[in-house]
């Protein structure tokens, strides 16, 4: 590689040979100076001719560079009997905004097990490594000026034990990706993730989630009921899972676009839309401060769940909107209600069911 302030390279400020990578970092350039550069390649057959000449102008300050190469730390080099589910980590690099990780079963990384970019942190959880297998791994750092070089390569050899790590990213299910005319009150749901005990949900009007409409964590179930979405608006959403070891990675991002508030769709009057009491319960009952309303729906439908006092007067609406088919659990916070008899009512377009609930303190 040669770098010069002269287009004919009659003099050079950098002239290097035998470079083992496809990128190099140069320091000490002047401010607001036009530089010319070119490269060639070498193998056992000889040296190629020079490439085309490119030019660039340096900026004032001289700091508009990709970040330096990070130092990888965990797992340590040549580690044996490493867990099949574990994290890979490097040190923070000045000026870096994201990081990348490659894991391979070959030292030249021709057979990649994992290739991830855009990581916001220096730590990444990896799941389901093959048992008794040697892996090679490396990391790099990036910012708005580009991607830095790869770190040195570490290796580790797995044993046969799965580790105690945060759960993997869940798979989103409802609403389906790119759904249009979705309801303004509806559920957001993912599939259950092995090892998860809680879930989180983020909904935003932008793809990078800088402007959050909803940010909720600690969900005890994979479903969350959202109300008052704006009409004719595109939303982006994602979920993650957590356990005692921490929060897992975010899922892929789904999007949906709302319509306007719809009238309840016509429902056939048959048994499979009737919500019978054997599919509808309140637990525990009696309740102290918090309870759960559980119910089972045969079809996706619009329902309303409300609370009535002992005189039959409606005193609260817990949810009104769309539920998917299947089993559901809706949390009920009773801290602001006095002890006594209440009724939980669940209804759709044509039917309703009511069960008693006692609050006792």
C-alpha torsion sign, points 167, 168, 169, 173: negative
Q: Provide the terminal-to-terminal Cα distance of the chain, rounded to the nearest Å.
A: 79
In this prediction, residue 187 carries a pLDDT of 84
Q: Does the structure show a pLDDT above 50 at 270?
A: no
Contact 146, 66 (CB under 8 A): yes
Q: What does the CA dihedral 316, 321, 327, 329 come to, rounded to 10 degrees?
A: -30
In this prediction, residue 60 carries a pLDDT of 58
Contact 345, 332 (CB under 8 A): no
pTM as predicted? 0.46
pLDDT (tens digit per residue) in 132-174: 999 999 999 999 889 999 999 999 999 988 776 788 899 999 8
Kindly provide the b/e burial profile for residues 138-176, where b requires at least 16 CB atoms within 10 angstroms of the residue's own CB. Answer: bbbbbbeeebbbbbeebebbbeeeeeebbbbbbebbbbe
All structural domains of the chain: 1-64 (2.60.40), 72-158 (2.60.40.10), 172-258 (2.60.40.10), 271-359 (2.60.40.3080)
In this prediction, residue 278 carries a pLDDT of 59
Q: Which of 24-28, 84-88, 188-192, 230-234 has the highest mean pLDDT?
A: 230-234
Cβ contacts of residue 308 below 8 Å, gap of 6+?
314, 315, 342, 343, 344, 345, 354
Angstrom distance (rounded) from CA 295 to CA 358: 18
């Amino acid at each position: 590689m040669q770098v010069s302030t002269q287009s004919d390279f009659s003099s050079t400020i950098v002239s290097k040979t035998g470079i083992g990578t496809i990128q190099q970092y140069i320091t000490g350039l002047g401010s607001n100076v036009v530089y010319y550069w070119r490269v060639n390649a070498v193998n056992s057959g000889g040296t190629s001719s020079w490439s085309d000449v490119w030019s660039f102008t340096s900026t004032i300050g001289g700091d508009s560079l990709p970040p330096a190469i990070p130092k990888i730390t965990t797992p340590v080099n040549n580690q044996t009997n490493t867990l099949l589910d574990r994290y890979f980590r490097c040190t923070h690099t000045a000026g870096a905004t994201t990081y990348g990780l490659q894991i391979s079963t070959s030292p030249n990384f021709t057979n990649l097990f994992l290739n991830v970019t855009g990581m916001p942190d220096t730590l990444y959880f990896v799941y389901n490594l093959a048992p008794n297998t040697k892996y090679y791994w490396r990391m790099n750092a990036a910012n708005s000026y580009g991607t830095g070089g790869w770190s040195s390569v570490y290796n580790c050899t797995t044993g046969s034990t799965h580790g105690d790590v945060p759960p993997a990213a869940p798979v989103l299910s409802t609403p389906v990706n790119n759904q249009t005319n979705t309801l303004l009150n509806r559920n957001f749901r993912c599939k259950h993730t092995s090892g998860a005990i809680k879930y989180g949900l983020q909904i935003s009007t932008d793809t990078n989630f800088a402007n959050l409409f909803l940010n909720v964590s600690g969900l005890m179930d994979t479903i969350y009921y959202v109300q008052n979405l704006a009409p004719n608006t595109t939303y982006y959403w994602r979920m993650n899972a957590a356990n005692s070891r921490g929060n897992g990675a975010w899922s892929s991002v789904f999007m949906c676009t709302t319509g306007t508030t719809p009238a309840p769709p016509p429902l056939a009057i048959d048994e499979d839309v009737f919500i019978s009491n054997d599919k509808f319960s309140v637990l525990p009952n009696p309740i102290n401060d918090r309870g759960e309303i559980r119910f089972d729906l045969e079809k996706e439908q619009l329902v309303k769940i409300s609370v009535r006092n002992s005189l039959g007067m409606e005193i609260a609406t817990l949810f009104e909107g769309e539920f998917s088919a299947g089993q559901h659990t809706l949390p009920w916070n009773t801290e602001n209600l006095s002890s006594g008899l209440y009724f939980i009512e669940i209804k759709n377009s044509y039917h309703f069911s009511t069960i008693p609930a006692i609050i006792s303190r």
